[in-house]
Amino acid sequence: MASTPTTFNSTEIPEPALARFLFSDTRAAWLWLIVRLYLGYEWISAGLEKIGSPVWTGSKAGVALAGFVHGAIKQTAGAHPNVQGWYADFLKSVVLPNASGFSYLVSFGETLVGLALIFGALTGIAAFFGIFMNANYLLAGAVSTNPILAFLAIFIVLAWRNAGWIGLDRWLLPILGTPWQPGKLFAGRSEAAS
């Protein structure tokens, strides 16, 4: 007996008007510009401060990061530690032995995320990497403004289609496209591969 394939009917759930406006309407780009500029300023300020410091990117690169890591490792004690054991193990075995390299990575990563957000270039990707850095700082026990920055960046990721509209993404996204829809730069290549 031949079995018949099971078919599933697809149902498209419509977006609420507010979500459609915030995350895909270019009229909301002004709101995201304000959020982007704030986030970008915070990241670029932190990154440039580190780039200008010899304990981050100079002759003593890694000293400041090693101090930060040692402080995080100390927060693993007690019944309710601020830093989980698995993350402390990662800091001890991966970050600490390579503190100099991670120091440059953090300094230039913060600066690049800040620049991309300010200029609206690959905004969603930049915000994602900002969230990634915020998450690592939070896992290391450094609260500061990290929850606020991560919260705002989540909305920038959700609004990736229009968050950089008042910026370079207005031109970059049509040229580069997305993984599911190649832009002008890759359109000819995908047709040739077919």
Question: Is position 166 within any domain?
Answer: yes
In a domain, 28, yes or no: no
Query: For residue 156, which amino acid is it?
Result: I
Task: Give 106's Cβ-side CA count (13 Å radius).
Answer: 26
Q: Is residue 126 part of a domain?
A: yes
Let me know if residue 2 belongs to a domain: no
The whole-number pLDDT of residue 8 equals 78
8 within domain boundaries: no
- Domain for residue 146, yes or no? yes
Query: So what's the pLDDT on residue 178?
Result: 85
Residue 194 lies inside a defined structural domain of this protein: no
Phi and psi for 147 in degrees, rounded to 5? -65, -40
Residue 159 and residue 36 in contact, taking contact as beta carbons nearer than 8 Å: no
Q: How many structural domains is the chain composed of? A: 1
* pLDDT score recorded for residue 115: 98
d(CA 14, CA 2): 38
For the chain, the C-alpha Rg in angstroms (whole number) is 21
**pLDDT for position 192:** 54
Residue 191: its pLDDT value, please? 54
Residue 189 forms part of a structural domain: no
Q: Say how far apart CA 35 and CA 31 lie, in whole Å.
A: 7
Measured distance CA(51)–CA(58) in Å, rounded: 8
8-state DSSP, 145: T
Please write the tens of the pLDDT for every residue from 105-120.
999 999 999 999 999 9
pLDDT tens by residue, the chain, 194 residues:
566 667 778 888 888 999 999 999 999 999 999 999 999 999 999 999 999 999 999 999 999 999 999 999 999 998 899 999 999 999 999 999 999 999 999 999 999 999 999 999 999 999 999 999 999 999 999 999 999 999 999 999 999 999 999 999 999 999 998 888 888 988 766 555 55
Containing domain of residue 106, as a range?
48-171
Instruction: Give the length of the chain.
Output: 194
Looking at residue 179, its pLDDT comes to 80
Is residue 93 within 8 A of residue 142, CB to CB? The reply is: no
